[in-house]
């Protein structure tokens, strides 16, 4: 009996400009899809910017998602799903206007399926938001 391995390889990507990956990859690409691991407001050295300012952290985190998308060859229109984890839901609600403006500045008016989850804390105690993303690779030649 012949056993075939029909699995395609998973391509892992860690683009410049994002925090140093220690024990994880920022991006996994497989079977025409892109999974972007949770992006916080970490700068390229791994430090969280704007401690205690959710709106500024959101802007930084969503730009990190865009950096990862670009590294995978995707655009905003390729996003299927965003998941937001926030440590302070009241601060999120209080900052809806600047958060919306920051989102539109990065992704325009593409509003994919989304989930907002309130959590007690994130791995980095200074982080107030973490954003995950699932996208599809653009079709070849499209």
For residue 57, what pLDDT is reported?
A: 98
Query: Is residue 4, in this structure, part of any structural domain at all?
Result: no
Backbone angles phi, psi at 30, to 5 degrees: -160, 145
For residue 108, what pLDDT is reported?
A: 97
For residue 140, what pLDDT is reported?
A: 54
Contact 11, 29 (CB under 8 A): yes
Q: What is the tally of structural domains in the chain?
A: 1
Mean pLDDT for each consecutive 10-residue tract of the chain (142 residues)? 65 95 94 97 96 97 98 96 98 98 97 98 97 91 48
Query: Is residue 11, in this structure, part of any structural domain at all?
Result: no
For residue 56, what pLDDT is reported?
A: 98
pTM: 0.92
Question: Which residues span the domain enclosing 124?
Answer: 50-136
For residue 109, what pLDDT is reported?
A: 96
Instruction: Read off the CATH number of the domain in which 113 is found.
Output: 3.30.1330.40
Query: Is residue 94, in this structure, part of any structural domain at all?
Result: yes
């Amino acid at each position: 009996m012949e056993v075939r391995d029909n699995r395609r390889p998973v391509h892992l990507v860690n683009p410049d400009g994002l925090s140093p990956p220690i024990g994880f990859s920022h991006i996994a690409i497989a079977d025409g899809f892109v999974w972007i691991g949770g992006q916080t407001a970490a700068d390229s050295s791994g430090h969280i910017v704007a401690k205690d300012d959710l709106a500024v952290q959101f802007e930084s985190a969503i730009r990190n998602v865009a950096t990862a998308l670009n590294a995978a060859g995707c655009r905003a229109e390729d996003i299927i799903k965003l998941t937001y984890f926030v440590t302070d839901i009241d601060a999120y609600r209080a900052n809806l206007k600047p958060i919306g403006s920051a989102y539109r500045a990065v992704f325009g008016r593409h509003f994919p399926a989304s989930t907002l989850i309130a959590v007690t804390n994130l791995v980095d105690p200074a982080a107030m938001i973490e954003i995950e993303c699932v996208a599809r690779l653009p079709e070849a030649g499209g």
